[in-house]
Amino acid sequence: MTNNINQMKTLNKNSSIPVYYQLAKLIEKDILAGNFKPGEVLPPEHDFASRFGISRMTVRRAISELNIVGMVYSEKGKGTFVANPKLDDVEFELDNPSGENPSKEMNREIKLLGANIFRADETLAKKLIIPLKTKCLHFRLIVSVNNEPLIYENKYIIFSKHNPILETELNDPSLSNLVNSNGQLRAITGKRVFRASIVTEEEAVLLKVSINTPVFLVEQTIYDHEKKPIGWSKSVYRGDRYRLTSYTGWCLGDF
């Protein structure tokens, strides 16, 4: 008794579109539609093979595509599972003052400054592509490490139902978590824009830094499976404490 609609479709073996790609898209649709949820196991490979009358190698090729984009992960002897979209994997690193023990315990603390209903102003309406004054939830918070305030964040998500603000949400106040907890839509993709800027007076007070301190201004937008924006945030990272690293060029497995 399956309700995986797309899986009843057939593959066109005479199409110029490769079978493995057709199958990958089919499974992708089922995952995006929620017929397979994160953590759940996919049918075994030989199932797909016999059901669609194709070779197991072709099934593997399809699933491999989904592995590459991180939509599923396979475990030998167990099965292939739907992953959680990693929406917060742009890693800011805390600057590590030389000599300090990097494995030192970090005491991360989140202080909620406010959580309330907010009627979309012009900026937010534009960001989320919603009418003016649409009901939204607004979170304001400060993230501190070792009692030092480092990040100031304002997060907005489209209001959908009266959910109480759970404490568990505030342990992980990432935008994707807030969206997933408070709406019926799941967060699928995200976009971040980084700017270099200088603290405003308000931010300087909140972050306990002097005026003219440089900051990273990070705007994040989160989209559902139809690429409609469902959440938006603007974060201020202290520029004297955070940095961003990226690697380029050739590497195979190791780095």
Report the C-alpha gap between 222 and 232 in whole angstroms: 6
Q: Which helix (H) or strand (E) holds 145?
A: strand 135-145
One residue of 2, 3, 184, 245 binding its own copies per CB under 8 A: 245
What number of other Cβ atoms are within 10 A of residue 186's Cβ? 18
The rounded distance, in Å, linking the Cα atoms of 119 and 244 is 34
Q: Please choose which of DNA, its own copies, none residue 20 contacts, taking the beta carbon within 5 to 8 angstroms, the exact cut-off set by kind.
A: DNA
**Side-chain half-sphere CA neighbours of 171 within 13 A:** 3
Of 183 and 190, which CB lies nearer to its own copies in the complex structure? 190
> Using the rule CB under 8 A, is 16 a contact of its own copies?
no
Applying CB under 7 A, among 2, 3, 53, 103 the residue interacting with DNA is 53
Residue with tokens 């967060």: 187
User: Judged by CB under 7 A, does residue 80 bind DNA?
Assistant: yes
Pick from 25, 60, 140, 225 the residue near DNA by CB under 7 A.
60
| Shortest Å distance, C-beta 12 to DNA | 9
Interacting residue with its own copies among 17, 90, 129, 205 (CB under 8 A): 90
Residue 189 as a binder of its own copies (CB under 8 A): the answer is yes
Among 187, 182, 194, CA closest to 230: 187
Contact between 113 and DNA per CB under 7 A: no
Q: How many CB atoms lie within 10 A of CB 201?
A: 8
Task: Give the torsion sign (CA, 170, 172, 176, 182).
Answer: negative
Q: Of 23, 66, 128, 185, which one interacts with its own copies (CB under 8 A)?
A: 66
Q: From the CB of 45, what's the least distance to DNA, in Å?
A: 4
Q: Contact with its own copies (CB under 8 A): which of 18, 194, 229, 234? A: 194
DSSP single-letter state for residue 32:
H
Site of interaction with its own copies (CB under 8 A): 24-25, 28, 32, 57, 65-66, 68-71, 85-90, 187-198, 212, 214-216, 223, 237, 239, 242-252, 255
Site of interaction with DNA (CB under 7 A): 13, 18-21, 42, 44-47, 53-58, 60-61, 74-80
